[in-house]
Structure 1
Amino acid sequence: MSGEQKTVIKGNPSQYVKLNIGGSLHYTTIGTLTKHDTMLRAMFSGRMEVLTDSEGWILIDRCGKHFGAVLNFLRDGCVSLPDTCRETAELLAEAKYYCISELVQACEQALMKKEREAEPICRVPLITSPKEELLLISSTSKPVVKLLINRHNNKYSYTSTSDDNLLKNIELFDKLSLRFSGRVLFIKDVIGSSEICCWGFYGHGKKVAEVC
């Protein structure tokens, strides 16, 4: 672009410089940029040429979303990491680009911790009492699907396919709960009934259908 030129920056640590990181503007000192042994130290200690525009902004072709966090880490040696894995991974990519090894390590450790502590994508409550069932169904605004399974019920005689049919119902319930867990509350009931396997469907706290 017109007005852009390469130059070497080397000045007093207290000297301020203007940075344009992918359109995100920052104003900081050479002392901050050269405080740690990183690529930024090489850029602002005269070892590398930098690109500037006609207004004196130093241009770095990176996403500037996390550059504020990068600067805070350079200033303080620590920084609050993002809450989400996605943003932590984005910050990790910037830390790797600027060769900030301590920040790379902090991001990688945070991602490993988040992976170990990751919330399950689906939770299916297991009913332990009629009171608990009533509380679960009445306290949610979601529609409810309940699967009752009672393998030890002796009301009916088992056929050669009874266990197979029971397992198919359980498998279907598991697939549905994984797919629709965000919109539907799925619960399992094993506390006993006159049925071996029964599906219950609830809306607004009331049973609307049952299939046994």
Structure 2
Amino acid sequence: MSSPIQLDVGGTIFKTSKSTLTRFDGFFKTMLETSVPVEQNQSGHIFIDRDPTHFQVILNFMRDGDVDLPDSEDTVKKISREANFYLLEGLMELCSRKLEVPEPESISKMKFLETDDDALRAIVYTEKPVLIFYYSIDYAVTGTVSFPWDNDNDHCVDIFKLLKKYETEFDIHFQKGERDPEDNDHWMFCIYYKNRTIADEKFPKSSRRFDTIMQQCIGIIERYKRSENN
């Protein structure tokens, strides 16, 4: 059995085996299996001039081929930098996957209607009130979606916030609508309940006004529901 190898990483001593250090291609395999000069300290330990804070993670990865990374984005970035120094591609890949920004939950809930037939089915085949946002695309300038402006907060309307606020009351859909050449951020919205049109409105430039309209529509729908139960 080979003697353990002792590493002096930035002043902290780590003890491991040659088989662990040479398991993966990279810094240590090159150091221990080629003629590259190895720097040692006065005690004969292999000296590595790096911060030792995350070296235990480096060692654990080399032992097992996998490692649990912390939730802290800043810490994972630091581990990734160390993995890059030690040329451990597998650990760099783990860090990259950990740092991937998850898709906002609301995106998965966004439902798009491609045709008028899709819209008709969405309206007819549900017991829940239906809210359809008709968004516009500025093809002449950028070819991108133009979001409605909210004068109350001096920025574009937060669509995800609207989804979260009204998703329990409505089955919400989005459909591309006709663009108004006189209004760059022209959106419309319609509310339907059991084949009744409750609202057919241009999106107001005030979030408070929009909330007022929505509450009025919810009140109308509640009255319809009560009349159905009588």
Q: TM-score, normalised by structure 1?
A: 0.49
Q: Which has the higher contact order (CA 8 A, sep 6+)?
A: 1
